[in-house]
Amino acid sequence: MNSAEHEKNQGRKVLNVPNLRFKEFQGEWEKTKFGDIATGFDYGMNAAAKNYDGVNKYIRITDIDEASSTYTDKDIVSPDGVLTDNYLVNNRDILLARTGASTGKSYLYKKSDGKLYYAGFLIRANVTTHDPYFVFSQLHTHRYWRWVSIMSARSGQPGINSQEYSSFPIYTTSIEEESKIAKLLSLLDERIATQSKIIDKLQSLIRGIAQNIVRNNKPNVCLSECLECKSSTLQECDVCEQGTYPVYGANGIVGYLDKYNTEDEAVYIIKDGSGVGTVSYVTGKCSATGTLNTLQAKEGYSLQYLYYLLKVFNFEPYKTGMAIPHIYFKDYGKAKFFCPSYIEQLQYAQSLSAIDSKLLVEKNILTSLSMQKQYLLRQMFI
């Protein structure tokens, strides 16, 4: 690839060419509309969903994973209605989310998907004359998401209809160049999807080992005998963008302070809200906001071992509150856990921690791949 053509145009009229291009291609790209290169823009079937019947797959907005350009078929259901060929997803079809927080998400049908129907909150467009992956990739660019933001901001409820989607500006070039770009990006997407599966398997392995400990051993000690629980009055508005020690909130680090509340190691647990019961293990000097409780091990117990068991603990019976769920240590602290000797706890923790370290490496690889894709999307498209 080279960017000579782009550099040559610096200081002149801006031409419709990308910053980064395969060296064998030249000339301007053509600006057109999505509706000029695709047909259909049909709405899916509006029908209530029931349990998946094991035969007919039915894709919804929530099944689409935008980052890996895949969908999660393990939760796909069949609709409570008559499935007709009008709602089949076909080769060269792109599905577009038309409403709600997912507005703008897209999915390109693959032959490996087999027979697949689509739901009412999706719009189907069939790319007729250009490479569908090339067109689909433009629906992941910053230019596209800026357009989605503008279109969605016109009313209180985000949404883009089929006519509006058909008006989105698409850039096209020769089919040879489109195919070469599409091949590169599709290979990268496949690598990202594979990396995501590696991460899923490692996470499943950690859960499986922890669940196996719980299932195969009799609980012998209450959680309150193993752990101490501390609360915090710190709010996110109290923290700074810069500082010596990190401050954790429900979604990770939310800021920094020059003082700290805990050191060495701690388990932070979300005590209210949508993520209630989610635990994280931290080391070093740090603090937590009031959304979290801090759990620390008593003498003779491994905090890391208890952390892995808490990751698979069922907090559901201990939740209170209708609109906003809460959990209290005075309640779930009464639950019994299996705690072997301290040496055995350390052995379990060491094994699970080794897998966790591998998981972190794989997540960093995924982040690098995702950043690489974003760079190519910025540079290879107008």
Could you report the per-residue pLDDT of 162-215, keeping only the tens digit for each? 999 999 999 999 999 999 999 999 999 999 989 999 999 999 999 999 999 999
In this predicted structure, the answer to whether residue 53 has a pLDDT above a threshold of 60 is: no
C-alpha count within 13 angstroms, C-beta hemisphere, residue 368: 7
Share of the chain above pLDDT 70, in %: 89
Residues 368 and 237 in one domain: no
Same domain for 283 and 232: yes
Residues of the domain holding 249: 219-338
Together in a domain, 92 and 191: no
Q: pLDDT: is 35 or 74 the higher one?
A: 35
pLDDT value at 57 more than 80: no
Whether 16 maps to a domain, the answer reads: no
Q: Are residues 34 and 161 in the same domain?
A: yes
Predicted structure pTM score: 0.82
Structure confidence at residue 5 (pLDDT):
53
Tell me, yes or no, whether 369 and 247 share the same domain.
no
**Statement to judge: residues 155 and 268 lie in one domain:** no
- Considering the domain architecture, whether residues 42 and 164 belong to the same structural domain is answered as yes
CATH number at residue 141: 3.90.220.20
Strands 287-288 and 245-249: parallel
| Residue 19 belongs to some domain of the structure | no
Q: Residue 273 pLDDT more than 70?
A: yes
96-107 mean pLDDT: 88
Closest CA to 160 of 102, 90, 108, 94: 102
Whether residue 316 is contained in a domain is answered as: yes
Same domain, 210 and 148: no
Q: Residue 274, SS3?
A: coil
Q: Indicate which CATH number applies to the domain containing 184.
A: 1.10.287.1120
Q: What pLDDT is stored for residue 279 in this prediction? A: 95
225 shares its domain with 305:
yes
Would residue 82 count as lying in a domain? Answer: yes
CA angle 351–353–355, rounded 5-degree value? 75
* Pair (236, 123) in one structural domain: no
Answer yes or no: do 345 and 213 share one domain: yes
Q: What is the pLDDT of residue 152?
A: 83
Q: Average per-residue pLDDT in the chain? A: 88
CA atoms within 13 A on the CB side of 261: 23
Domain count, the chain: 3
Share of the chain above pLDDT 90, in %: 67
Tell me which of 61-75, 137-151, 214-228 is least confident: 61-75
Q: Which of 172, 201, 235 is the last residue of a domain?
A: 172
Residues 377 and 137 sit within 8 Å (Cβ to Cβ): yes
Tell me, yes or no, whether 208 and 229 share the same domain.
no
Mean pLDDT of 68-86: 65
Integer-rounded Cα radius of gyration of the chain: 26
CB 252 within 8 A of CB 269: no
Question: Which candidate, 120, 113, 133, 115, places its Cα nearest to that of 73?
Answer: 113
